[in-house]
Amino acid sequence: MPRDRHAFEKAYSEPALREARPCPFCGSQTLGIFPGPEAPVIPNDTFRVSCPKCGCMGPLGDTVQRAVLKWNGDFAPLHNTELHGSSQTDR
């Protein structure tokens, strides 16, 4: 059980969640970030924001930060350089 407790503490203390909007269904501000399904529809999409109050689960993202962006409603594709913070831009 201590192992599960550690996983939950980590899920709910993820720094990227500070940027997450409250749950769109119940308004809860207590959110967690959890691994997605073992075999995601899109390869490498392995994280999602989840609301423990109502059970809402956000879209899958390939990084914790991307999962939070998608939870917040940003479904625009990002270039690889934007995901990894490269100083080069294509714009």
Render pLDDT for 8-52 as a digit per residue (tens, 0 to 9). Answer: 788 888 999 999 999 989 999 999 998 876 655 666 678 999 999
CA distance 46 to 62: 6
Token pair 């399904």 in the structure block, residue? 37
- Is 90 contained in some domain? no
pTM for the predicted model, two decimal places: 0.71
- Is 18 contained in some domain? yes
Ranges assigned E (strand) in the chain:
32-35, 47-50
**Quick check: 23 and 32 in contact, CB under 8 A?**
no
- Is 37 contained in some domain? yes
- Is 54 contained in some domain? yes
- Is 36 contained in some domain? yes
Give the structural domain span for 33: 6-83
> Considering its fold, how many domains does the chain have in total?
1
CA dihedral 58, 56, 15, 12 (to 10 degrees): -140
- Is 89 contained in some domain? no
- Is 28 contained in some domain? yes
- Is 73 contained in some domain? yes
